[in-house]
């Protein structure tokens, strides 16, 4: 019987194939009481299971396949850290001794207690980590129960399979590189979960948060995964299957055609050049950026160097990372954003007691409150400027006072390098992110003091519409086409043109092909996005005539009503 399931489309495109169920069901932990003389042997059995999982994770870490997403190593690291936490690796031993119970039972009880603690955390990102705790605990449980591990996955050449799982851990994702799945679907996972982040960088059609897919789908069922609409159709009627086969073939053909655009110039029909740059999180992402033909790095989110660790990266460590990117991009521009932690990106060394972290001490506010952290980073950035075309980008500016303070610290860092005789490029451009409505409205004052601006539309939309970008409950209200948002973008672009200062968009809007032509019509000539979207955006650029789009974009700005905006957008994209 055909039916459909609805979830969150995490990664675009369509996949059609047969379901391959992933044996990941929760294992039932048996419970029995031990004779006193067997207690120490049980403790040793538990310790051996933990050790075998640690070795498994280490093995994964040293055999990360070529081309695996850059985040994978960090995620395996997170699982290793969870495993090392005494809550999981030591407290069950105490329980075994205190209650003379078997290791599986002690582990299951301790896991539930730990997960309950995570569930009470307010911070979305941290709360999501309860899935990681569960995944690590399951691995230990399987090791204890002599579970053979995952059923061997079918080889890639046996036809297209769709992986159906209750949940997937980052280490499971290694298998995606070795077994060419057409897509995957899971019951669990929020948009900020590690698996969602990895899915996007693998660029596989996927739908998450389906709740009951694993229970309702049988091995071998035909599935259609619509990663665009977030829908899975199980056992589709022949007519639907045919329709999606056509869409899928079309999509595959388009993906293939896009590859040919890699070295084509990014120029509009009326001859305007458009810079298409890549957003990266780690130095190892440079390879993908170059592979997609990026003209430079438009946003290196440096905070990823600061996450998943208890200490701060020192000046030398940061310098090495920035230099690697600057050199790797071979004289192409590399915009490195200074530390933007706080809100959904929390770090262990920062006690975040904000009532509302998105409005709290984050990004530049935190750096100005902790100038030593900022100075260390700025010195590392200037040192790297000697080896490539580094540009410095300041996040979350709201007032000119903040900008003045930041510029004074930047001046001090430069002075200290000069005194020490360390080479750097004194002309390194310094830019600011426009992601708070006040900064957009006052863009002219910011632009006068800075070399360039970059519109962080993810936050600009969040703050303009008062919508928490991580909250599923209001996700449907998150609207890049809201007239308020568009006028702030348009105003900032106009200021840039007037003062001759480059303005880019580096939020998700830049990689959304439905918005490329509108942004071009508003005068944008510099886009920065996840490298996976770059060629599709280039295709749009090459098909656009800015002279014709500009009047339509102006019309859309004046439209006001959502239906009218959609109507004009359709004309822009026609
Ligand atoms: C943005 O806010 O649009 C942006 C690019 O920064 P981030 O997504 O890292 O907050
Ligand atoms: Mg931002």
Atom of ligand 1 nearest to the CA of 340: 9
Domains and CATH numbers, the chain: 3-22+151-238 (3.50.30.10), 36-145 (1.10.274.10), 270-572 (3.20.20.60)
Residues with CB under 6 A from ligand 1: 299, 301, 340, 435, 456-459, 506-507
Atom of ligand 1 nearest to the CA of 507: 3
State pLDDT tens for residues 24-34. Answer: 445 567 777 78
Atom of ligand 1 nearest to the CA of 301: 9
Confidence at 68, pLDDT banded by 50, 70, 90: low
Beta bridge partners of 336: 300, 392
Least confident of 8-22, 214-228, 354-368: 8-22
Does residue 170 surpass a pLDDT of 80? no
Atom of ligand 1 nearest to the CA of 459: 2
- Quote the pLDDT of residue 129: 82
- Quote the pLDDT of residue 419: 98
Q: Which ligand is nearest to the CA of 304?
A: 1
Average pLDDT over residues 111-115: 87
Least confident of 106-115, 441-450, 500-509: 106-115
- Quote the pLDDT of residue 1: 76
State pLDDT tens for residues 386-443. Answer: 999 999 999 999 999 999 999 999 999 999 999 999 999 999 999 999 999 999 999 9
Token pair belonging to 44? 């040793």
Cα separation, 233 vs 213, in Å, equals 11
Beta bridge partners of 448: none
Q: Is 101 a catalytic residue?
A: no
Average pLDDT over residues 271-291: 93
71: nearest Cα among 328, 282, 307:
282
Confidence at 566, pLDDT banded by 50, 70, 90: very high
Q: Bigger pLDDT: 208 or 324?
A: 324
Kindly report the average pLDDT of the chain as a whole number. Answer: 87
Does residue 148 surpass a pLDDT of 50? no
Residue nearest atom 9 in ligand 1 by C-alpha distance: 301
Average pLDDT over residues 74-100: 90
Ordered DSSP codes for 96-147: HHHH-B-HHHHHHHHHHHHHHHHHT-S-HHHHHHHHHHHHHHHHHHHHHTT-
Average pLDDT over residues 61-83: 77
Packing angle of the helix pair 91-99, 39-62 (nearest 10 deg): 160
Q: Could you tell me the distance, in angstroms and rounded to a whole number, from the CA of residue 566 to the centre of ligand 1?
A: 25
- Quote the pLDDT of residue 196: 64
Atom of ligand 1 nearest to the CA of 303: 9
- Quote the pLDDT of residue 102: 85
Torsion of CA 102, 104, 107, 108, to 10 degrees: -120
Does residue 152 surpass a pLDDT of 50? no
Q: Could you tell me the distance, in angstroms and rounded to a whole number, from the CA of residue 431 to the centre of ligand 1?
A: 15
- Quote the pLDDT of residue 172: 64
On whether the pTM is more than 0.85, the answer is no
Cα separation, 303 vs 346, in Å, equals 10
Does residue 154 surpass a pLDDT of 50? no
Q: Could you tell me the distance, in angstroms and rounded to a whole number, from the CA of residue 458 to the centre of ligand 1?
A: 5
State pLDDT tens for residues 340-393. Answer: 987 666 666 676 667 788 898 889 999 999 999 999 999 999 999 999 999 999
Q: Could you tell me the distance, in angstroms and rounded to a whole number, from the CA of residue 345 to the centre of ligand 2?
A: 11
Pairing assessment for the beta strands 297-301 and 14-21 based on DSSP bridges: unpaired
Mutate to test the pocket of ligand 1, among 507, 508, 524, 526 (most ligand atoms within 8 A of CB): 507
- Quote the pLDDT of residue 180: 64
Catalytic residue among 131, 166, 194, 533: 194
Cα separation, 306 vs 463, in Å, equals 25
Q: Could you tell me the distance, in angstroms and rounded to a whole number, from the CA of residue 300 to the centre of ligand 1?
A: 11
Residue nearest atom 8 in ligand 1 by C-alpha distance: 458
Residue nearest atom 6 in ligand 1 by C-alpha distance: 456
CA 519 to chain centre: 23
Average pLDDT over residues 539-543: 97
Does residue 84 surpass a pLDDT of 80? yes
Q: Could you tell me the distance, in angstroms and rounded to a whole number, from the CA of residue 332 to the centre of ligand 1?
A: 22
Average pLDDT over residues 461-475: 82
Please answer whether residues 114 and 89 qualify as being in contact, where contact means their C-beta atoms are separated by less than 8 angstroms. Answer: no
State pLDDT tens for residues 175-187. Answer: 554 456 788 898 8
Beta bridge partners of 503: 453
Residue nearest atom 1 in ligand 1 by C-alpha distance: 456
Q: Which ligand is nearest to the CA of 279?
A: 1
> DSSP strand E in 306-368: where?
333-337
């Amino acid at each position: 019987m055909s039916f459909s399931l609805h979830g969150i489309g995490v990664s675009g495109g369509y996949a059609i194939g047969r379901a391959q169920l992933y044996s990941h069901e929760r294992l039932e932990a048996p419970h029995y009481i031990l004779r006193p003389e067997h207690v120490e042997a049980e403790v040793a059995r538990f310790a051996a299971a933990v050790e075998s999982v640690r070795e498994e994770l280490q093995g994964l870490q040293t055999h990360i396949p070529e081309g695996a997403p850059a985040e994978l190593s960090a995620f395996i690291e997170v699982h290793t850290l969870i495993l090392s936490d005494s809550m999981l690796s030591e407290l069950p031993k105490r329980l075994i001794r205190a209650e003379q119970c078997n290791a599986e039972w002690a582990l299951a009880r301790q896991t539930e207690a730990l997960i309950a603690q995570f569930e009470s955390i307010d911070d979305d990102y941290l709360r999501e980590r309860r899935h990681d705790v569960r995944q690590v605990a399951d691995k230990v449980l399987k090791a204890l129960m002599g579970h053979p591990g995952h059923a061997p996955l079918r080889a890639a050449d046996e036809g297209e399979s769709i992986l159906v799982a209750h949940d997937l851990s980052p280490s499971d994702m290694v298998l995606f590189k070795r077994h060419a799945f057409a897509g995957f679907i899971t019951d669990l996972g929020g948009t900020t979960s590690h698996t969602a982040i990895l899915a996007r960088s693998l660029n596989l059609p996927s739908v998450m948060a389906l709740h009951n897919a694993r229970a309702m789908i049988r091995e071998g069922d035909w599935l259609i995964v619509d990663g665009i609409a977030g829908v899975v159709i199980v056992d589709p009627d022949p007519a639907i299957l045919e329709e999606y086969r056509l869409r899928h073939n079309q999509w595959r053909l388009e993906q293939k055609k896009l590859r040919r655009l890699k070295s084509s110039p990014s120029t509009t029909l009326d001859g305007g050049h458009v810079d298409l740059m890549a957003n990266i999180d780690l130095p190892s992402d440079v390879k993908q950026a170059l592979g997609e033909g990026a003209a430079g790095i438009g946003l290196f989110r440096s905070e990823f160097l600061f996450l998943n660790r208890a200490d701060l990266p020192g000046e030398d460590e940061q310098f090495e990372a920035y230099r690697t990117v600057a050199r790797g991009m071979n004289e192409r521009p590399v915009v490195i954003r200074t530390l933007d932690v706080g809100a959904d990106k929390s770090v262990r060394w920062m006690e975040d007691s904000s009532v509302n972290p998105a409005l709290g001490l984050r990004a530049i506010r935190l750096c100005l409150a902790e100038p030593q952290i900022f100075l260390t980073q700025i010195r590392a950035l200037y040192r790297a400027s000697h080896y490539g075309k580094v540009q410095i980008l300041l996040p979350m500016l709201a007032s000119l006072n903040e900008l003045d303070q930041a510029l004074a610290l930047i001046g001090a860092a430069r002075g200290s390098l000069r005194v020490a005789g360390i080479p750097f490029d004194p002309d390194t451009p310094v830019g600011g992110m426009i992601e708070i409505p006040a900064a957009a409205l006052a863009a002219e004052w910011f632009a006068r003091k800075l070399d360039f601006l970059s519109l962080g539309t993810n936050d600009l939309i969040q703050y303009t519409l008062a919508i928490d970008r991580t909250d599923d409950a209001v996700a449907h209200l998150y609207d890049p086409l809201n007239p308020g948002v568009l006028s702030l973008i348009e105003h900032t672009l106009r200021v840039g043109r007037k003062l001759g200062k480059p303005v880019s968009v580096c939020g998700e809007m830049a990689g959304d092909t439905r918005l490329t032509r509108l942004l071009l019509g508003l005068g944008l000539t510099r886009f920065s996005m996840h490298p996976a979207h770059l060629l599709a955006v280039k295709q749009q650029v090459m098909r656009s005539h800015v002279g014709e789009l500009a009047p339509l974009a102006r019309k859309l700005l004046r439209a006001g009503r959502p239906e009218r905006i959609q109507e004009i957008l359709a004309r822009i994209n026609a």
